[in-house]
Structure 1
Amino acid sequence: MSTPPSRPSYAAVLRVPHARRTFAAALTARLSYGTVSLAVLLSVTRATGSYAVSGAVMSLFGAATVFLMPLRAALVDRHGPRRALRPMAALYGALLCVLAALTWRPGAPSAAIAGAAALAGGCAPPLGPTMRALWAELVPDRGLLQRAYSLDGVAEELLYVSGPVLVGALLGVAPPASGILLSALLIVGGTSAFVTSPAMSGPRPEARGERRGAVHGLLPPVAVALGVGLALSGVELLAAAYATERSYDTALVPWVLGALSAGSAVGGLVNGAVRWRAPARTRLCRFAAGLALVVAAAGLAPGLWALTGAMALAGVFIAPALTTAYLLADETAGEGARTRAGAWVNTAVNAGGSSGALVTGLLIGRLPLAVCFALAGSTALLAAMVAAGSAGAAARVGAGGALSEGGAR
């Protein structure tokens, strides 16, 4: 393992031995997650002629993908990426092909489509958590690791932007189910290249006593990830409601949300470039609190362009908050639980996104939009307070343990 440079940079991250090949393969496979959601939604809608059915299928697919991720990540930790990811990717790809075959033409039975989607989601390989765990092994220097995580986060966000565009281009020459086949090809091919990288590690059994400490240490990053997911999903609906209420052209809403993504990308790159003096726990709470305040204030924007600026500023806190959450999860996890720790953070973000959209949808029309924005921001603020409180409690427990050990000596 080469010695990291004294002044870390993003180029230095990619100069780490085997980093470029491994990262490129992981991104190829992860692009599947950027294409599959839209492809499944359009395919199921075309095959069944029902938005209700497609919504139910997407809910099953998403729930199985998100909530079973920690279990799949535990298999990666226990058996190693090579032994665990290959069968997951193969089974996931095969089930996507079944789903594509079912939805290729109209008239497929809804129950069969829902079953195939749920089974496929349950097998989705945890590529993001695995790559982040691998970064921690490739890059032992914490400053350079911060840049690696920032680069990973920004690249992942770009995949979720470019994936739907790729599906849209494919729809010009093929039916929507072809997007599902493309997703299967990406996941199988990319994962095969990923697990054959020389940088790939083997299984790392969890040491005795690691689990209890990891559970306490994971609460701050998981809480903040959940709060960020809740706030973000709420903001997406609120931006559309804001434009409708003030009679703006709804075609402008994607630009508002694009400003959020652009701000997140800039914030992520800047976060990785700064040599922070504050510890990760402190930064995590500050980023979440900053996001909360900006989202709450966005409800007072006098016009759509002001709202766009507020969204760009809110985005500046998103990637740093999530990157720091992953970094802190890695710091607190034992050697045998790194993938699982990252998966819990990932699950929290997605769970927050799903539930936040549901709750916000129920509140819009019942409360003033400014209040809805404030409530969306309050979820991130509450998460920051929980993270700060749990960090303080962990510090007191740690100090008590140290005193007890000192007395025993």
Structure 2
Amino acid sequence: MSTHLSRPSYAAVLRVPHARRAFTAALTARLSYGTVGLAALLSVTGATGSYAVSGAVLSLFGATTVFLMPLRASLIDRHGPRRALLPMSALYAALLCALAALTWRPGAPAPLIAVCAALAGACAPPLGPTMRALWSELVTDRDVLRRAYSLDGVAEELLFVSGPALVGALTAFTTPAAGILLSAFLNAAGTCFFVTSPALPGPRAGSGGRKPAAGRGLLPPVAVALGVGLALSGAELLVTAFATERPHGTALVPWILGALSAGSALGGLVNGAVRWRTPARTRLHRFAAALGLVIAAAGFAPGLWTLTGAMALAGAFVAPALTTAYLLADEAAGEGARTQAGAWVNMGVNAGSSGGMVVAGLLIGRMPLELCFALTGGTALMSAATAVVAAAVGGRAAGTAGAAGAGAAAPCRSR
């Protein structure tokens, strides 16, 4: 099921046998994660009349979705995507339908809504890590794989931009709970088409001798993903605070954040198109450090247009950093643990996104905005430093192990 492309391009990536169908199906299912957040926020708020309750419900949903993702991914590695994804998606869709029913009209008990949302998050199928693991099965050329990961990352960025817009259009005609039903339908339908794709490997007999994800090798990509998530979410809140201090600045906030997303998409496409000579481990910490430096410098922007340019430049390092993190996680994983390795990176960036907003909220008003930007950028710089140290330690450990095992046959990892 492996393909080597002599002239890699984004179009060539989609010409890999069966890749287009699997990728389209996975994106359809993943669009559910772009629509469900806003739909749940609006419907729970309408049903309970409390933003505090809706915030708590979304926090529970996000926590179970993010922190249980490696566990769900390990089930996919153990049993194969055909066997594991369908039950997860069926439960996820059923629980979202129950959540929609509970919030269709006011009056449902808040604890029951919270439990339903938490259970739904616990069942959310990790389609992003699964698709990236599938790319590594379909493609052997590392340059082509990097381009496939870049395409995947840019597409995911667009899903999280278009998802809320889709919910907004839907709620103009019906209740917000219909957006939750839409999220359930997208996930179930997309997953069904995905698992029937000929691109997926056949059923797995068992975990057997498959190696777990390499913990030490995963530390640099997970650390960078965490730092990127912290820096990004903190910067979004700081941009809002920066804009509100300027006349008519609030109206420009969506455009400034849109520049961040556009910069990320463009950076991802360029990263996939360039034939890098620098090793991926070096690129990883350089991208993270560049992101941190630009965000730190953005606090000194003299006006909103300068800040917009700074955010676009910061975004240009986001997708490359995350794409490189996923590539390194794939390299660090054992043959039967690629989905789980990708899920750890995914968990890192999402956990960072949750924490960064909280930390930035605590800093704003207590410190000058310039210092807040500097500290937020510092989280990405710290993650870059962690990646450098971890890579150095891992390299020394690998060298020691290699010396100790001299004369023994080197293990071969089949692609």
TM range (shorter): over 0.9
Residue 370 of structure 1 corresponds to: 370
The answer for unaligned runs of 5 or more in structure 1 is none
CA 1:408–1:170: 2 relative to 1, 3 Å:
closer
In the alignment, what sits opposite 1:289? 289
Query: 2:330 aligns to what?
Result: 330
Structure 2 partner of 1:96: 96
Task: Report what 2:56 is aligned to.
Answer: 56
The answer to whether the aligner puts 1:302 opposite 2:284 as a matched pair is no
Once the two structures are overlaid, the 10-residue window that deviates more, 259-268 or 240-249, is: 240-249
Alpha-carbon separation, structure 1, partners of 2:216 and 2:73: 19
Look up the equivalent residue of 1:284 and give its one-letter code: L
Contact persistence 1:76–1:203 (CA under 8 A): no
CA deviations over 1:352-399 (Å, ceiling 9, x no partner): 000110010010000000000000000000000000100011111111
Distance 1:400 1:95, change over 3 A: same
2:31 maps to what in 1?
31
Distance 1:402 1:113, change over 3 A: same
Q: Does the 8 A contact of 1:204 with 1:336 survive in 2? A: no
1:398 maps to which residue?
398
Secondary structure, aligned partner of 2:326: helix
What is the match of residue 314 of structure 1? 314
TM-superposed CA distance for 1:241, in Å, is 0.3
CA distance in 2, matches of 1:2, 1:215: 26
Q: Bigger shift: 369-378 or 213-222?
A: 213-222
Distance change >3 Å, CA 325–CA 204, structure 1 → 2: farther
Q: Which residue of structure 1 aligns with residue 259 of structure 2?
A: 259
CA deviations 1:242-296 (Å, max 9, x no partner) are: 0112333311101000000000000000000000111111100000000011000
Question: Could you give the per-residue CA deviations for residues 20-64 of structure 1, whole angstroms, max 9, x where no partner exists?
Answer: 100000000000000000000000000000000000000000001
Give the corresponding residue for 1:43: 43
Confirm or deny that 1:70 pairs with 2:84: no
TM-score (norm 1): 0.97
Q: 2:186, 2:356 → 1: CA distance?
A: 30
| Identity score, percent | 73
Q: Distance in 2 between matches of 1:406 and 1:131?
A: 37
Q: 2:3–2:16: 8 Å Cα contact kept in structure 1?
A: no
Contact preservation (8 Å) 2:5, 2:141 = no
User: TM-score if structure 2 supplies the norm length?
Assistant: 0.96
Return the offset for 1:206: 5.5
Partner of 1:16: 16
Counterpart in the other structure of 1:80: 80
Secondary structure of the corresponding residue to residue 335 of structure 1: coil
Report the alpha carbon displacement of residue 173 of structure 1 after superposing the two structures with TM. Answer: 1.2
- Given that residues 291 and 380 in structure 1 are in contact (C-alpha distance below 8 angstroms), is that contact kept between their aligned partners in structure 2? yes
2:2 and 2:137 in contact (8 A); partners too = no
Tell me the residue number matched to 1:222: 222
Structure 2 residue 339 is the aligned partner of structure 1 residue 339: yes
For residue 248 of structure 1, give the secondary structure of its aligned residue in structure 2. Answer: coil
Check the 8 A contact 2:210/2:335 in 1, yes or no. Answer: no
**What residue is the counterpart of 1:234 in the other structure?**
234
Q: What letter corresponds to residue 281 of structure 1 in structure 2?
A: R
- 1:171 aligns with 171
- Secondary structure (helix, strand or coil) at the match of 1:375 reads helix
From the superposition, tell whether residues 363 and 101 of structure 1 become closer, same or farther in structure 2 (CA, over 3 Å).
same
Matches for 1:182-261 after TM superposition, within 5 Å: 182-201=182-201, 202-203=203-204, 210-211=211-212, 214-261=214-261
Question: How has the CA–CA distance of structure 1 residues 247 and 206 changed in structure 2, closer, same or farther, with 3 Å as cutoff?
Answer: farther
How far off its partner does 1:408 sit?
Answer: 8.2
Deviation at 1:3, TM superposition (A): 4.7
Please say if residues 35 and 179 of structure 1, whose CA atoms lie closer than 8 Å, have aligned partners that are also in contact. yes
1:163-186 per-residue CA deviation (whole Å, 9 max, x = no partner) reads 001001101111000000000000
In structure 2, distance between residues paired with 1:207 and 1:396 = 30
Partner SS, residue 8 of structure 2: coil
User: What corresponds to 1:105 in structure 2?
Assistant: 105
